[in-house]
Structure 1
Amino acid sequence: MKIDYLNKFKGALIGLAIGDILGSPFNGEIRLDILSKFENFETFLWKNKRKIFKTYTDNTQLSLHVTEALIQGNGFKMNYLIREFIKWLDDPPGTNAFSCISSISKLKNNISWKNVATNSGGSGTLTRTTPIALLYNNDEDNLNNLAELISSITHSHPAASGSSILLARAISFLLKKSPSNQFLLDEFFELLILSILNSQKEVWNDLISYIEELRISLDLSIEAGLIKFSQIGVSQIYYIQEYLGKAFIHPYAISTIICVLFLFLKHLDSFDDFIYIISTAGGGATAAAVGGAIAGAFHGYSRIPEKLIKLVKNSKYILDVAERLYKTYRRRNKIK
């Protein structure tokens, strides 16, 4: 079956924004507390769509700025990216994006991009990988290198860069798959492992073991899986003891990507079923935005319900950016 790549590009970027919007009201809450607010999430959503689910956050904002930089530079060029990042400072960030604000403010003050990152392993850097994954989906070496690079500008910890590579490779893989046909899970997991294999980074080697653990845990319930993976890889200093044995998603990048993949692989049939589950899983805006990008890349724009797209106030702009990125992809790959 021929893949409609424009449909997939649009799906990934609009899916990211939808997840960002749906997850943001629940930042910092565990799954049990979120579920206590309603009997049916979909009913709750449409009843409160303008009161609670207002707009997306810096997850989407910065991802769109990265997309614009890729279009302007006909591919990745650091000067275009820096210019777009600095433009973001004039946007009102939707959350307290401390690592990003700190790093990008230094860029504005003409400090080299090599010296502005905080030593953060947080998940806030992940969604910016999405446009990289779309544009470089058939260029594995550049895809890996750029996913790591774009993460390291604001988050220097290898947990963030390794998780960014996993997200990029997941999106590039799913972009080429039809939701009408089952893909081979073993093929998917092997690709993820190979993308970070033979690294000198100990954290990446740990991440491989977590992927292997994920592979054999897909028969767990949502609750059991989230409890198992909620704080996977988190060091003792950042471990949240009061949440031990509770279902949520820690903002550590590794915990986020593993939990998102766990939930996605258990809900491959429907974009909306999955996005409702990831939005209420206890990972807030970032986990839901990461999930939305993955699911959107797999299902495509055409399989996302129109009512969800209408939640995104400037959806026309996002779809236009996706189309311009797709044209850049065609031009770079000499596709007529």
Structure 2
Amino acid sequence: MQERERTDLLDRFTGCLLGLAIGDALGTPVSGWTREAIAARYHWLDRFVPLVTEDGTVIIPAGEFTDETELALSLVESAISARGYLDVAAAGYRFLRLLDGPTARFLDEPTRRALTAAAEHGDFQRGVAGPGTATGSAAARAAPIGLLHALSRFNPDLLVRDVLRATLITHAEPEVVNGALAVAYAILLLVQGTTPPDVLLDEVARFIDEDAVAQRLRRAALHPVLADDDELVRALVALGTSAAVDEVVATAFASFAAAHDDFARAVTLAINIGGATDTRGAITGALAGAHLGASRLPTALVEGLEGRPYILLAARGLFQAAQQRAGRFVRLLVR
């Protein structure tokens, strides 16, 4: 029974990171598109497609993840090297590598500004604030923080502290921290399997600070269960499709809640409403993957994901780091 429990938990860790990367890779090629534009081009986008220019030049091949996943993996790597604890400086220096990499073009403006400044002054706790900085990118990379805390005795103060430190690398707006906390806490609950998905939104809204993120989550929780995808899309669009953190988090959670036992449907709902499809897709994928586990993700999407072997290794490493943090490290046998 104990071995089965460990296997199930590892499956959820792996599912969370794979789901995040799949959602990112599915959503990136249509990021910023309207739902009408997506429908006109793909009818219903449910497969990996490349990101191409107007003349057909391929910028990102089909199935390749970008900055949302790479930033999350930077946090994973820092936690593994610190044996289960968040090393902000190590994570920050890993973030800086993205400025010179191929995915730099996908970084949102607040993230790029913060990292450019950090490269000069070396302080990774001076995220940017002010008008236009309350975006959802920090929420997308918060999933590993929830995983890191999922095996330990729950300490809300420690969870909040780690989310704050991870967020402040790039963002200092309170709403961004709150959005990241919503994602981290939800991932923790889903991995532990103690909170049914149909009450997840209410539980998360109660836990986080009272602001626009919590208010929009409550709006999402009031949505009726709809079987028709067209009706669901219209309801999700009404929640907001911009890159603002409250809209991104609420629509991601609502997409998951609408199809929590069907990974592909949850993630494609998140993407086909348009707008911030990469960030929303990543968050929805992380939620659904943490709930279902890697073993229940669609084979075609898992096998079509570029970089899958590294994510599998990262998930195992993070699982062992979380066990070390919890004081219950058990050597896992690779079959």
TM-score range, shorter chain: 0.7 to 0.9
Q: Which of 167, 171, 174 is the matching residue for 1:151?
A: 167
Q: 1:163 aligns to what?
A: 179
Instruction: Please list the CA deviations of residues 286-328 of structure 1 after superposition, one character each: whole Å capped at 9, or x if unmatched.
Output: 1111111111111111011222112222110111011000011
Shift of 1:190: 4.2
Q: 2:126 aligns to what?
A: 115
Moved more, 266-275 or 62-71: 266-275
Instruction: Please list the CA deviations of residues 205-248 of structure 1 after superposition, one character each: whole Å capped at 9, or x if unmatched.
Output: 34333333222223363133223211xxxxxxxxxxxxxxxxxx
Query: Contact between 1:58 and 1:97, CA under 8 Å: does it hold in 2?
Result: no
2:111 counterpart letter in structure 1? C
The 1-side partners of 2:160 and 2:107 are apart by 28
The 2-side partners of 1:161 and 1:304 are apart by 29
Shift of 1:38: 2.9
Query: Contact between 1:133 and 1:171, CA under 8 Å: does it hold in 2?
Result: yes
For residues 276-291 of structure 1, the aligned pairs below 5 Å read 276-282=268-274, 283-291=276-284
Q: Are residues 300 and 54 of structure 1, via their aligned partners in 2, closer, same or farther at CA, if it must alter by over 3 Å?
A: closer
1:192 and 2:204 matched: yes
Shift of 1:102: 2.0
1:302 and 2:287 matched: no
The 2-side partners of 1:157 and 1:49 are apart by 31
The 2-side partners of 1:82 and 1:38 are apart by 37
Shift of 1:154: 1.0
Q: Are residues 275 and 189 of structure 1, via their aligned partners in 2, closer, same or farther at CA, if it must alter by over 3 Å?
A: closer
The 1-side partners of 2:26 and 2:43 are apart by 16
Instruction: Please list the CA deviations of residues 40-72 of structure 1 after superposition, one character each: whole Å capped at 9, or x if unmatched.
Output: 534xx3686996635211101111111101111
Query: What TM-score do you get using the length of structure 2 for normalisation?
Result: 0.83
1:136 and 2:154 matched: no
1:157 counterpart letter in structure 2? E
Q: Which of 59, 69, 83 is the matching residue for 2:78?
A: 69
Q: 1:104 aligns to what?
A: 115
Query: Contact between 2:12 and 2:291, CA under 8 Å: does it hold in 1?
Result: yes
1:123 counterpart letter in structure 2? G
The 1-side partners of 2:197 and 2:312 are apart by 30
Query: Contact between 2:96 and 2:115, CA under 8 Å: does it hold in 1?
Result: yes
The 2-side partners of 1:48 and 1:98 are apart by 23
Q: Are residues 329 and 213 of structure 1, via their aligned partners in 2, closer, same or farther at CA, if it must alter by over 3 Å?
A: same
Q: Are residues 14 and 158 of structure 1, via their aligned partners in 2, closer, same or farther at CA, if it must alter by over 3 Å?
A: same
Q: 2:193 aligns to what?
A: 177
Q: 2:90 aligns to what?
A: 80
RMSD over aligned Cα atoms: 2.4
Query: Contact between 2:126 and 2:172, CA under 8 Å: does it hold in 1?
Result: no
The 2-side partners of 1:116 and 1:100 are apart by 8
Query: Contact between 2:21 and 2:69, CA under 8 Å: does it hold in 1?
Result: yes
Query: Contact between 2:267 and 2:285, CA under 8 Å: does it hold in 1?
Result: yes
Shift of 1:257: 0.6
Q: Are residues 61 and 162 of structure 1, via their aligned partners in 2, closer, same or farther at CA, if it must alter by over 3 Å?
A: same
Query: Contact between 1:106 and 1:116, CA under 8 Å: does it hold in 2?
Result: no
For residues 228-239 of structure 1, the aligned pairs below 5 Å read 228-230=238-240
Query: What TM-score do you get using the length of structure 1 for normalisation?
Result: 0.83
